[in-house]
Amino acid sequence: MAGGKTLELDRREVVARLLADAGELLVVTGLGSATWDCVTVMDRDLNFYLRGAMGSASSMGLGLALAQPQRRVLVITGDAEIMMTAGALATIAAQGPKNLSIVVLDNEAYGETGMQPSLTASGADLAAMAAAAGFQLAETVWDEAALARALPAILTGDGPALHAVKVKAGNYPHAMPPGDGATLKDRFRLALLGPDAAA
User: What residues make contact with other proteins under the rule CB under 8 A?
Assistant: 26, 28, 48, 50-68, 85, 87-88, 90-91, 94-95, 180-182, 184-185, 188-189, 192-193, 196-197, 199
CB 100 → other proteins: shortest distance, Å? 10
Contacts of 195 (CB under 8 A, 6+ apart): none
Q: Which is nearer to other proteins, 26 or 151 (CB)?
A: 26
Q: Which run of H or of E encompasses 94? A: helix 88-95
Q: Quick check: 11 and 166 in contact, CB under 8 A?
A: no
CB 188 → other proteins: shortest distance, Å? 6
CB 87 → other proteins: shortest distance, Å? 3
Q: Which is nearer to other proteins, 7 or 65 (CB)?
A: 65
CB 192 → other proteins: shortest distance, Å? 7
Contacts of 56 (CB under 8 A, 6+ apart): 30, 50, 85
Q: Which is nearer to other proteins, 91 or 156 (CB)?
A: 91
Q: Which is nearer to other proteins, 45 or 143 (CB)?
A: 45
Q: Quick check: 181 and 28 in contact, CB under 8 A?
A: no
Residue 67's CB: how many other CB atoms inside 10 A?
11
